[in-house]
Copies of this chain bind each other. A is one copy, B any other.
Amino acid sequence: MAATLARRFDKARCLVVNIMSSPGAGKTTLLEQTSRRLSRRMRMAAIEGDLATDRDARRIRRAGIPCRQINTGGGCHLNARQVAEAVKAFDLASLDVLFIENVGNLVCPAAFDLGEHRRVVVSSTPEGDDKPVKYPVAFRHADCVVLNKIDLVGVTDFSLRAYRRFVRGIRPGVPILELSCRTGEGIDAWLDWLCAQREAVAAGAARSRR
């Protein structure tokens, strides 16, 4: 099912980004910020995975991104079957980027291929700098690591240096984008990364291997 999805995404030349994190690290806020800054340049859509409620989907729609909600009813991750069903709501060929916001869980989602081109792991500073070594599975297959809430570094015990070292140890060479969705600091590097991936996929570039 994931392989079928991957072929569809390739054919449509629509960049598909699977976003994973702990609960509350800032996935939805990152998409809100992305929409506000890129919606004139890119056609975006999103699939929102949650155990319950459509709170995030409503936030994303308010920010201007068409959105399809998947409620897993207790399920701890999204699977390819759910994504295949949700994706019917969109005309993929008319989109530049489709975001899949996974269930907030730093463990299980990493084990499930959704046919995506890129995997993004979002960390946040209040979670602590040791999360990459304690939850290595998610980081091992990340194409990009976003470190959110850097505006809170001064009021927590978070060490940027330790965090970078932990990430590099698990996934050498992965981009680490340090930003704050609240203050806007560092967001431009994220937008640049996203646009570069979009261009690569539009040009028919191969997907990264996992």
**Contact between chains at A105 and B103 (CB < 8 Å):** no
On chain B, the residues within 8 Å of A195 by CB distance are: none
Copies of the chain in the assembly:
2
Residue contact B106 to A23, C-beta cutoff 8 Å? yes
Q: Are A133 and B22 CB-contacts (below 8 A) given A107-B105, A107-B108, A152-B152?
A: no
B-contact bits for A12-27, CB 8 A (1 contact / 0 none): 0000000000111000
Name which of A22, A55, A56, A137 has the most chain B CB atoms within 10 A of its CB: A22
Place the interface of chain A in its size category: 35 or more
Check A155 for interface membership: any CB of B closer than 8 A: yes
* Residue A79 lies at the interface, judged by CB distance under 8 Å to chain B: no
Q: Name A residues whose Cβ lies closer than 8 Å to a Cβ of B.
A: 22-24, 50-53, 55-56, 74, 76, 103-108, 111, 124, 126-128, 130-131, 133-137, 149, 151-152, 155-157, 182
Using CB atoms, name the residue of chain B closest to A110: B74
Cβ contacts under 8 Å, A127 to chain B: 22-24, 126
CB pair B108 A76 closer than 8 Å: yes
